[in-house]
Chain A
Amino acid sequence: MTYAGERETTEGRVFTVTGGDWDTITNNIDPLSNEKIVVNMGPQHPSTHGVLRLVLELEGETVTEVRPVIGYLHTGIEKNLEYRNWTQGTTFVTRADYLAPLFNEAGYCFAVEKLLGITDQITERANTIRVLFMELNRISSHLVWIATTGMELGAISMMLYGFREREYILDIFEETTGLRMNHAYFRPGGVAQDIPDSAIKKIRDFLVYLPKKLKEYEDMLSGQIIWQERTQGVAVLDVTGCLALGITGPVLRSAGLAWDLRKTMPYAGYEDYEFDVPTATTADVWGRYQVRMAEMRESLKIVEQALDRLKPGPIFVADKKIAWPAQLAVGIDGMGNSLEHVAKIMGQSMESLIHHFKLVTEGFRVPPGQVYIGIEHPRGELGVHAVSDGGTHPYRVHMRDPSFVNLQAIPAMAEGALLADVIAGGASLDPVMGGCDR
């Protein structure tokens, strides 16, 4: 009676286990130490950060081979973009990596603006708002990271704390953009709406509130022997490995290389902000944890500088052929175009009417060409390769998502380690399957 299908391979006997009583299986097999079992982890599993499937070959508790299988969340975002105009693309792109939606939008908008050639015309206020929100989003993404990683390694209360702090940031986002997630706030040419003063007050309160909490969480985790045992020396990937596999972001910085696109190839005015790039030398999960906690603090610094830098001004590029023709205000029946603006379009200015019409029906045209933009996403380098053929729809937009590239490192980190280290390693890479599969 067989309970586990077995076959001889060049590497010995391989057993496929799909269920059944463990004792019966082991009793039917030779009690030698070099049997392999194939375990399928996912795509539905609490620890796979979304729908990641890992096919593991185990010898006892040691992993001999791990093959990640992705594609369970492939949405065809890139193809959908080809059937929408350039401004509508923001709403699609924002749902790729759903934990850092503003970064997706930022990458896409920078690419479109480079194609349009208006990168220098983006107003200072728009750039400052973009930096401000990107850093807030970085903090919220890292909070989700520490929450889910903590939960997966067993520190379940970290999940509650992380999501609790994140609610403050989502509140700020909702105040400004109207949505908690997937905002479609950054548009090619600027940002959709201005920040209300109530949101600025919330941000300032948050800046005072979070550092105390971060210290609390660090005290809770860093000194804890179980956390240290599970993260130190686990899932090591040194600089050569990282560069060969194209890993960027906190994983690369935990290996010691201070490569941060905000410093090395700055965009959106990042060269004017004062902040450090935290690195670690241990290249393990512990190092990545240190790097991400430190990055949250650096982001708080940038947020503060951005708030101080915020001066009144336009939030959209001045070119009327690109700027979204809305001036929103809250009226008696909710938010919509302000009445003066409607009166101006309908009654006074023929030009505004024509611009409004053309922009809403067609969208603006982007001169033909292709660009590649790289920004520093919480997980690494987010690249956007945008190709235009001169029309109102993107011809091809490819997002080089950091999670997609970083996941290639799982075999390198996990093979030879214990099963629990696969979880820790995978969690430390911070993959978000929405971005990975797009």
Chain B
Amino acid sequence: MGIEEKLPAGILLTSVEKLSNWARKSSFWGATFGLACCAIEMMAAGGPHYDLGRWGMEVFRASPRQADLMIVAGRVSQKMAPVVRQIYDQMPEPRSVISMGVCASSGGMFNNYAIVQGVDHIVPVDIYLPGCPPRPEMLIDAILKMREKVMATPLGPNGRKMLEARKAAGQMPIVAPGAMPSSYRVDKVRRAEWTQAVKDGREEQLRIENWMKLQPHLREGGK
């Protein structure tokens, strides 16, 4: 990205990294890539009710050269696939992709000749967002997870070296950035619970247990 990348590994680089990532995550500019029904939900997320402007994202850049987040919203047909790739290639680094909806993530309900079974066959995807179509709130959740991921990105070759060093020394955060469900992330206690569960390798179990605790007929421990 420039002179920042040439900084030697150390505290200066980590501070610059944090600053640069914070700037990136706070001002995602989406590329308009609405294809089908999910595009309407994306537009609704940009509308006044579920306001994406709260996170600086109400503006969707028509030109991919000025965008850094491509939300592939909708089913990608065989005819459209080269266009998706071309738009992705035209986006400058650093760029991210959210595949919104099941059709973009995996082909969805259209398991047939005409639809590409998952846009990850064409472009690398950072966040998969299921739903048919996902509610605007789900899209916002995906964007928030994307922000977490961006916050943890290394800056330049020195940054990547530092990341490798951290990995080798075993200092990586227990929960990968963007991997904690939002309902756990909001509360310190639950966050600690989840982190512990990931350490033990039983986060699915934790989810199931907590869900069961909420069911009225199972509250007494099941009958």
B48 with A182: CB separation less than 8 A? no
Determine whether A92 belongs to the interface, using a CB cutoff of 8 Å to chain B: yes
Q: 1/0 contact trace for A140-164 toward B, CB 8 Å?
A: 0000100000000000000110011
Q: Name the one of A46, A80, A92, A98 contacting B36, with C-beta atoms under 8 angstroms.
A: A98
B87 with A180: CB separation less than 8 A? no
B58 to chain A, nearest CB (A): 9
Determine whether B217 belongs to the interface, using a CB cutoff of 8 Å to chain A: yes
A51 with B80: CB separation less than 8 A? yes
Residues of chain B within 8 A (CB-CB) of A332 are: 215-217
Q: Name the one of B32, B47, B80, B216 contacting A73, with C-beta atoms under 8 angstroms.
A: B80
B36 with A181: CB separation less than 8 A? no
A73-B75, A79-B112, A91-B109 known; A144 vs B40 contact (CB < 8 Å): yes
Residues of chain A within 8 A (CB-CB) of B44 are: 163, 166-167, 170
B80 with A46: CB separation less than 8 A? no
Residues from 57 to 77 in B contacting A, C-beta threshold 8 Å: 60, 62, 64, 74-75, 77
Determine whether A76 belongs to the interface, using a CB cutoff of 8 Å to chain B: yes
Determine whether A99 belongs to the interface, using a CB cutoff of 8 Å to chain B: yes
Q: 1/0 contact trace for B167-191 toward A, CB 8 Å?
A: 0000000000000000000000000
Interface of A is mostly: loop
- CB closest residue in chain A, given B110: A75
Q: Name the one of A44, A74, A92, A181 contacting B40, with C-beta atoms under 8 angstroms.
A: A181
Q: 1/0 contact trace for B20-45 toward A, CB 8 Å?
A: 00000000000011111101110110
Q: Name the one of B35, B43, B62, B112 contacting A163, with C-beta atoms under 8 angstroms.
A: B43
Interface residues contributed by chain B, number (CB under 8 Å): 38
Determine whether A43 belongs to the interface, using a CB cutoff of 8 Å to chain B: yes
- CB closest residue in chain B, given A91: B109
Alpha-carbon distance between A435 and B9 when the two chains are bound, in angstroms: 54
Question: Which of A44, A159, A160, A182 has the largest number of chain B CB atoms within 10 A?
Answer: A44
A75 to chain B, nearest CB (A): 5
Residues from 66 to 84 in A contacting B, C-beta threshold 8 Å: 71-77, 79-80
Residues from 48 to 63 in A contacting B, C-beta threshold 8 Å: 50-51
B116 to chain A, nearest CB (A): 11
- CB closest residue in chain B, given A171: B49
Shortest beta-carbon contacts, A-B, top 10: A163-B47, A98-B37, A76-B114, A72-B80, A76-B112, A167-B49, A46-B62, A164-B48, A332-B217, A74-B77
Residues of chain A touching chain B, judged by Cβ–Cβ distance below 8 Å, are 43-46, 50-51, 71-77, 79-80, 91-92, 95, 98-99, 144, 159-160, 163-164, 166-167, 170, 180-182, 332-333, 433-434, 437
Contacts A/B (CB < 8 Å), 14 sampled: A45-B62, A72-B79, A74-B77, A75-B75, A76-B114, A95-B109, A99-B40, A159-B47, A163-B47, A164-B47, A167-B44, A180-B133, A182-B37, A333-B215
